Amino acid sequence: MNALLRKEWIVLTLFIFLFIFLRSVQFKYYLNFSGDQATFSTKTLEIYRTHKPVLIGPPISVNLEGRRIFQGPMIYYELLLFLLLGGFDPIVSSYLFMLFCAAVIIPLYYGTKLLIGKRPALLITAIYTLLPYYLDFTRFLWNPTFQLSLLPFLILLMGLFKKKHNNWIFFAIAVLLGIMFQYHYQFVLVILGLLAYYALFVRVRLSQLGLYFLGVIIGFSPVLLFEVRNHFYNTQTFILFMRHYSKLDTPGGTNRGHYFLSISFMMIVLLLGVFNRTITKIREKQFTAYYLILIVGLILWSSFSYFPKPKTAFWAATENWNYPAEYKVYSIIKKQNLKDYNVSNLGYDTLATVPKYLLRRDNIKIDYDDYWHEKYLFVIEESKKKDFMSDPAYEVASFRPYKTLKTWQINEYYNMYLVERGVSGETTGR
């Protein structure tokens, strides 16, 4: 190993160490394993146990009177990989995914080096490792974070194609784009952007553009096969959305940061390419000084942001709630050894998908969807709300009148109550 290569590997090792260290701080308290993660994991667990593959993934958040567009199935299959390796434990599986995100620093660096140059490669590596935006979204299992984790391989293939001009590599780029399109449909902007880049600036041959379209189609083929077999359901739904755009229900409030994960990352790569000549002209010592300032500044920013122990998980839908609280709920429920029960979390998820996922993982046999006939109900609610069963949600309304049997403190802000469905004439709860 020559001196230059050895120096590069030392730098990459340091970045991988920083990547893992910063994300490991208070990991389980920052971990976002909430409604989406539990829903996806439940479906993935079902696919694994029934051995029945699927052609589509979860629906996008936008809906019109209950009608939605479905994403691709790669979300479930990549999630299955980490769930299997982690024994279907949310913390272990999420941590393994974080380690995978750390490892892709290597293809990110060498791909950017081949595509643009060494200095841009150093800059994008520092940004990916240390910028809080990417730090937040490389710690948990979700379709936009899966998409982000594959971008370094796309950049590596682009760098290899620039060096070798090999049609098979170009075809692999297109197939990977089609696969990544399954994770989040905003990625179409990247697909179109790269099409314009290769057609107008690289000026690939017409036959290579044909390979590009063919590769994207193959990578996206599970969804296309679903379309053909289901009368173009997604396409018809998209047309319906466009006709009634003003009526669309788009949940999520201001939580839109995930929409720009992959797009922003590729924009940074684009800007590094545009300003590469300017970056290259900076003297070596001056560039080193600027680079060290950037790294130290980002480390300080991340340290001040993440070292304090949080009361709320990253991007949690409600304050003062996290995965350890979910796990405590699940542990208490399991110890009761009841049969005829269900669970509702009035804090943010009335269906309580996280503890239900953990119960399903343990093969606990209950009717998870029945809130009308079960005898008992576990209710999680803020401890300051005394009349917790007055909530209009059908999950609790269906149990009135009721009788409170037990109360547990989950944390200083939330309690869990065990109630029994009442009978005529009871006065313990209405």
Segment (H or E) for 60: strand 59-64
Residues 361 and 261 in one domain: no
Residues 235 and 340 in one domain: no
Segment (H or E) for 69: strand 67-70
Residue 2, pLDDT > 80, answer: no
Residues 85 and 230 in one domain: yes
Residues 98 and 231 in one domain: yes
Residue 365, pLDDT > 70, answer: yes
Query: How do residues 43-65 score in pLDDT, each as one tens digit?
Result: 999 999 999 999 999 999 888 87
Which pLDDT band, with edges at 50, 70 and 90, does 123 fall under? very high
CA angle 14/16/17 to nearest 5° reads: 65
Residue 430, pLDDT > 70, answer: no
Considering its fold, how many domains does the chain have in total? 2
Check residue 254 and give its pLDDT: 52
Segment (H or E) for 84: helix 74-85
Structural domain includes residue 161:
yes
Check residue 255 and give its pLDDT: 65
Structural domain includes residue 378:
yes
Query: How do residues 85-110 score in pLDDT, each as one tens digit?
Result: 999 999 999 999 999 999 999 999 99
Check residue 119 and give its pLDDT: 96
Residue 381: CB atoms within 10 A of its CB come to 21
CB 376 within 8 A of CB 421: yes
Query: How do residues 283-309 score in pLDDT, each as one tens digit?
Result: 999 999 999 999 999 999 988 889 889
Check residue 55 and give its pLDDT: 94
Residue 426, pLDDT > 50, answer: no
Which residues contact residue 208 at a Cβ distance below 8 angstroms, ignoring those fewer than 6 apart?
167, 170, 198
Query: How do residues 252-266 score in pLDDT, each as one tens digit?
Result: 555 677 888 999 999
CB 121 within 8 A of CB 109: yes
| Mutual angle of helices 188-196 and 206-219, in 10-degree steps | 170
Query: How do residues 378-406 score in pLDDT, each as one tens digit?
Result: 999 999 998 889 889 999 998 888 999 99
Residues 373 and 237 in one domain: no
Closest CA to 134 of 101, 90, 163, 96: 101
Residues 289 and 335 in one domain: no
Structural domain includes residue 311:
no
Residues 296 and 339 in one domain: no
Which residues contact residue 37 at a Cβ distance below 8 angstroms, ignoring those fewer than 6 apart?
90, 140, 141, 142, 354
| Average of per-residue pLDDT across 148-159 | 98
What is the residue whose two structure tokens read 């709920």?
329
Which pLDDT band, with edges at 50, 70 and 90, does 327 fall under? very high
Check residue 108 and give its pLDDT: 98
Separation of alpha carbons 126 and 18, rounded Å: 10
Q: Which of 253, 277, 306 is the last residue of a domain?
A: 306
Residue 428, pLDDT > 70, answer: no
Check residue 424 and give its pLDDT: 46
Check residue 425 and give its pLDDT: 38
Check residue 423 and give its pLDDT: 62
Residues 138 and 280 in one domain: yes
Structural domain includes residue 205:
yes
Query: How do residues 160-170 score in pLDDT, each as one tens digit?
Result: 999 999 999 99
Check residue 88 and give its pLDDT: 98
Range of the domain at 412: 323-421
Structural domain includes residue 139:
yes
Of residues 279 and 247, which shows the higher confidence score? Answer: 279
Share of the chain above pLDDT 70, in %: 96
Separation of alpha carbons 71 and 185, rounded Å: 8
| Average of per-residue pLDDT across 277-283 | 93
* The amino acid at 45: L
Residues 298 and 331 in one domain: no
Residues 278 and 389 in one domain: no
